[in-house]
Amino acid sequence: MAFSSIHEDKPQDVYARVTGKIISDLGKGDLTWRKPWNSVHFAGRISLPLRSNSIPYTGINTIILWAESADKGYSLPHWMTYKQAANLKANIIRGEKGTQIVYADKLVKEELDEQGKLATKTFHYLKTYTVFNASQINGLPTQFYQELSRGDTNEHNRIVELEQFFAQTKADIYTGRLASYNQNTDRIQMPAFESFERPIDY
């Protein structure tokens, strides 16, 4: 295998992209607080993103996937490549876009030096690849759609008067990852009650 075949991104390009994303988010004041719900409230604490084999990601990939989960509202911990999903007889939902992460490794190569002696050289490299959250995939085994165990929820703090009011409207409300109204189907999507910081926010 030629060494050049694994150079999909130069290390400085990957670092610049990730650093640029973090600086951009900080420059915007991390606007995730402007929506009153957050997928991380499901678990009470931030959890590590998991590979398809349930082994946690490490290093910069953890930060990349945390940021993507916050941006997109993903509450499921597992991420996988297109091929890994296909091996599980699942498929990526049409229109969904993946997240680029990195794989760091090294090659050890023996070659002759200027004196004609055999010397060992180590080459470090980064390879980029694309993964999808389980929320973006149809047909996975059931365990991939199970959210992490939640901490204490505020379910008992629901505001009864408001619950009764909205029940009387007969509105078709279902649980999803967004707060939105679909005019075509006349349905309202709401994040789960437990994902809100306060009952009044819900």
Residue 131, pLDDT score:
97
Q: Which of 18-22, 36-40, 85-89 has the lowest mean pLDDT?
A: 36-40
Least confident stretch, 20-29, 62-71, 113-122, 156-165: 20-29
Residue burial 171-185, b: 16+ Cβ < 10 Å; e: rest: eeeeeebeeeeeeee
- State yes or no: pLDDT of 78 exceeds 60: yes
Region of poorest pLDDT, from 18-27, 39-48, 186-195: 39-48
Q: pLDDT tens-digit profile of 123-160? A: 877 888 999 999 999 999 999 988 654 444 456 678 88
